[in-house]
Homo-oligomer: A and B are copies of this chain.
Amino acid sequence: MAGSEIRRNMPLFSIGIVMQLTDLSARQIRYYEEHGLISPARTEGKKRLFSLNDIDKLLEIKDMIDQGVNLAGIKQIYNVKKQQAAMTADEKKQAEKMQNELSDAELRKLLRKELLRAGRFNRNSQQGDLTRFH
């Protein structure tokens, strides 16, 4: 599953298509980029080109937005995910301990407010559903 990652990161789609596929406005998509949630590639002429992964992520974001999570929350979630992905198995155990003890105050506040608001969360697979497209 090495080549598949490349393929899913290949910049292929113009913003117009992504709008249709995600039902997001151009404004929304650019705003999410502005806040670092996605980083679509660019053509020489600076037009955005989105990958399948970008679209997946936008669908995830849309889901979270629909569930009332604000951008700050979404950012934190991605930060957490990223850290976890970068951690080896036993680093994770360490982190779990830390999480339960002295995680920084702001993160705790956010996580409590955004994530623990009912079990509406993790209900669905961590991944935006793009199976209908390819």
- A residues contacting B by CB (< 8 A) are 3, 7, 10, 12-14, 16-17, 43, 49, 52, 132-134
Contacts and interface: CB of A to CB of B under 8 A. Distances in A.
Contacts of A10: 133
A65 B108 CA distance: 62
A57 B13 CA distance: 19
A130 B16 CA distance: 23
A133 B10 CA distance: 8
Given A12-B17, A13-B12, A134 B134 contact: yes
Nearest to A12: B17
A132 B7 contact: yes
A26 to B, nearest CB: 15
